[in-house]
Amino acid sequence: MIYQLKITLKGSKPPIWRRVQTPASTTLEMVHEIIQQSMGWFNYHLHEFHVKNMAIGDPEQLCGWEMGEEPDVIDEAEITLAELKLREGAKFEYVYDFGDNWQHEILLEKKLERERGTHYPVCIKAVKSGPPEDVGGIWGYYNMLEALDDPDHPEHETFSEWLSGEGWDSEAVDLDEINNRLSMLNV
């Protein structure tokens, strides 16, 4: 089975979202990678999933595993989408960068048959560019957009210089580029 997921950045207006299709056998560790690649992020920060009152993530990163503490999260590398036993219409949450607190709603839209000749995961629709990393979360992102739109804003020059080399545009999203990055994932 293939799961069609709609991943929406909470608090974004108009919404920033991605519609991806991936096998039901995809681990949540790989779902994290799919989100990173589809948003154009670089996996610099910690993350965690919240599913049915369970915290799921990387125990070594989140729980001081290296110091001998017992992990208080379920290991994302050991849980697949299918094992979550979600019905169509079910939602769960993904949080990236605990400082900036990028919260995402993940909606299981459909369960589909695998299409012959299609490489999974695949992003079939994307709306708006993913925000730059380390901009200060959703509120910092909107402050940045306001500054970029107003040449008299005190932070206009700072943000313009920061993003000028990246060619970043809040409206631009390139499905081919997203899918090129997704094609490198070993799902």
Q: Tell me the pTM.
A: 0.93
Alpha carbons 93 and 51: distance in angstroms, whole number: 7
Alpha carbons 40 and 46: distance in angstroms, whole number: 16
Write the class of the CATH domain 2-130+171-182: alpha beta
What order do you get walking across the sheet with 122-127 strand by strand? 74-75, 54-57, 47-51, 91-96, 102-112, 2-9, 17-23, 122-127
Alpha carbons 142 and 106: distance in angstroms, whole number: 22
Opening angle at CA 11, ends 7 and 15, nearest 5 = 55
Question: Residue 85 corresponds to which tokens in the numbers above?
Answer: 């036993």
For 114-157, give the DSSP string.
Answer: PPTT--SSEEEEEESPPPPTTS-HHHHHHHHHHHHH-TTSTTHH
**Domain residue ranges in the chain:** 2-130+171-182
Alpha carbons 56 and 27: distance in angstroms, whole number: 11
| pLDDT digits (tens), the chain, 187 positions | 999 999 999 999 999 999 999 999 999 999 999 999 999 999 999 999 999 999 999 988 765 545 555 657 899 999 999 999 999 999 999 999 999 999 999 999 999 999 999 999 999 999 999 999 999 999 999 999 999 999 999 999 999 998 876 678 999 999 999 999 999 998 8
Residue 68 gets the label, from left (phi > 0), alpha (psi -120 to 50) or beta, of left
DSSP state of 53: T
User: Of all helices (H) and strands (E), which one includes residue 178?
Assistant: helix 175-182
CB atoms within 10 A of CB 157: 11
Residue-level pLDDT at 65: 47
